[in-house]
């Protein structure tokens, strides 16, 4: 009997599989606090590139004259002429002999600079008359253009029409000009004071309008 029970016990122990021990849970993992995600460093803004400095627009240079026939110098005999005025009457250098006269060349009627110059001569007209000096403006414009110009601005002096630039060339004021990069032939604004003997006593070439008439009047007053 005892041996039979022993055999049954041995059979039971063989039939039951051995229990596998579970590995102990790591305490460190259970108690470990979750790590906070690292904050990303703010991206540094790239330094703004400085805009290239804009170049200032170049100022246009005033018209320059070159070329053309050289005119008479101070002390030389004034070129003779015979031209029509704004009324269609002929005016000649011979008819002016014995008294001083002022001959001023300008580019064109009714333009800004030419109008200002003409009006400045108009405003000082009495001063020239006191010295018995004849005042004559000259441009390539027609007689009709001169007539309208004189009427519009009340010009009391003579305007000579020189459409063929005969007198302008004789005085050397018809020349090549450069303006805004463009070359062309034109009148170089100029003034000449001629005495009663027909001799040039004073000359201005490339005239700047402001203050010019005062200088011309001073020169006329200085004539003996």
Backbone angles phi, psi at 202, to 5 degrees: -155, 140
The region that residue 112 occupies, defined by phi over 0 for left and psi between -120 and 50 for alpha, beta otherwise, is: alpha
* 3-state secondary structure (DSSP) of residue 208: coil
Q: Which of 114, 133, 161, 219 is catalytic?
A: 114
**Among 87, 34, 76, 61, which Cα is nearest to 177's?**
61
Beta-sheet strand order (sheet of 190-194)? 90-92, 82-85, 158-161, 134-139, 101-105, 190-194, 200-205
How many CA atoms, within 13 angstroms, populate the side-chain half-sphere of residue 148? 8
What is the C-alpha to C-alpha distance for residues 107 and 165, in angstroms, rounded to an integer?
A: 11
What is the C-alpha to C-alpha distance for residues 187 and 173, in angstroms, rounded to an integer?
A: 6
Residue 119 among the catalytic residues: no
Q: Say if CB 156 and CB 125 are below 8 A apart.
A: yes
**Among 105, 109, 113, which Cα is nearest to 179's?**
113
Q: Which residues are catalytic, by number?
A: 114
């Amino acid at each position: 009997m005892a041996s039979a029970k022993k055999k049954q016990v041995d059979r039971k122990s063989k039939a039951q599989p051995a229990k596998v021990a579970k590995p102990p849970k790591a305490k460190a993992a259970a108690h470990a606090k979750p790590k906070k995600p690292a904050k990303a460093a703010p991206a540094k803004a790239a330094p703004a590139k400085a805009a290239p400095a804009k170049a200032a627009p170049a100022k246009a240079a005033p018209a320059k004259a070159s070329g053309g026939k050289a005119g008479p110098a101070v002390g030389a005999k004034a070129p003779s002429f015979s031209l029509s005025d704004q009324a269609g009457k002929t005016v000649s250098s011979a008819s002016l002999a014995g008294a001083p006269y002022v001959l001023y060349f300008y580019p064109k009627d009714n333009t800004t600079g030419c109008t200002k110059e003409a009006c400045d001569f108009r405003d000082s007209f009495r001063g020239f008359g006191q010295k018995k000096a004849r005042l004559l403006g000259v441009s390539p414009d027609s007689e009709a253009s001169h007539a309208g110009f004189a009427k519009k601005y009340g010009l009391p002096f003579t305007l000579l029409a020189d459409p063929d630039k005969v007198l302008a060339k004789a005085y050397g004021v018809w020349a090549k000009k450069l303006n805004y990069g463009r070359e062309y032939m034109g009148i170089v604004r100029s003034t000449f004071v001629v005495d009663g003997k027909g001799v040039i006593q004073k000359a201005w070439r490339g005239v700047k309008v402001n203050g010019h008439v005062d200088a011309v009047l001073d020169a006329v007053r200085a004539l003996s």
